[in-house]
Structure 1
Amino acid sequence: MFSSLPDEIIENILARISRWNYPSLSLVSKRFHSLLSSMDIYKARSQRGSNETCLYIWLKLPGHPCASWFSLRPKPNNQKRTKRRGMIRLKRDSSGFSVVPIPFSSTDSFPELHNITTVGSDIYIIGGPYKEPSSSVRIFDCRSHTWRDAPNMTVAREDAQTVLLDEKIYVMGGCDIDKYNANWIEVFDVN
């Protein structure tokens, strides 16, 4: 049904759907994935006033071998049925959040998390964990729930610290210091 519609009409329809459904919808087809990860859908949502905030969590659950990405989703207003003294009563429940797993393609790889910096809708994972230095920079796109590689840092780092200032990520420490301390800090321009 959707295959015969122009992209603009599908984007208009998808812009009306809650962003919470996008991870599942992006798995429907390559076309849906492409439309949902494009900036056009977010422009359409913004024009409609359909922006939703979202909190992403990297969480290791007990009994699971590795950590995974989740989003913290506000629970919708629900009515709960309760039985009291033989009478059924409806009670509104609007409190709390749900922890929702984010589905990924089987080809996505998840780096071990160490240093995270957020810029807009992108989460930057920089360097390696303690005793595992790396020069890699991976970016998690929160709109499309996909990973992409950024240019590597010039020095492998472990457990480094970062600061975001003027759309530049300053990466400090986590490496061997040369005699001039030239490697101690590195600047990564997000543009």
Structure 2
Amino acid sequence: MPGGGAGGGGDDGEPAFDPVALADQARDAMHLPGPGLNSSPGADAPVLVQVPVWLWVDEAAWEPVIAEAEVPGGAVSVTATPTSADWSMGDGEVVTCSGPGRPYDPGRDDPASASPDCGHTYTRASTGDYTVEVEVTWSVSWEATDGTGGELAPLFTEADTEVDVVESQGLVQTRAAAP
């Protein structure tokens, strides 16, 4: 490559470029999708104590995002890849999932079963709504046209919702034997 020395400068008159600074610029300009927080049961219905809650983020929000930047003398490509989702459940518990989670499918999944990927079971009712927050961590890497590359500081996206966690209690009545 003409002018492609490790310093980013050009022996052929091209101006030097700083690939790390250019990568930082591209990273800072990235537009990452929000996580699209989802659960079953959904946040629009009460959640029962001791009933598993399935958690997942939108699949479209779990795809790598690429940004590119170019200056005279070189260019960089920066890729952000989602690596984990940390769910703060509002009851003091944090659930860390290494993937987006799997949507609950009523035709396939048993509602009494825990999610195989990402889930939580509340053990006590809320006295008001619990705030459920999800934070997705994105690892960020870069490559430059001069052959350099590396890792940058991670990025984060987040979303939250309110859930009402309730108890369902049964009443047992005994009948007196007939005289």
* Band the TM-score falls in, shorter-chain normalisation: under 0.3
Bigger proportion of residues as strand: 2
What is the TM-score when the length of structure 2 is the normalising length?
0.21
Kindly name which structure, 1 or 2, has the bigger radius of gyration based on alpha carbons: 2
TM-score (norm 1): 0.20
More helix by share: 1
Per chain length, whose mean CA-contact separation is higher, i.e. which structure has more relative contact order (CA < 8 Å, sep 6+)? 2
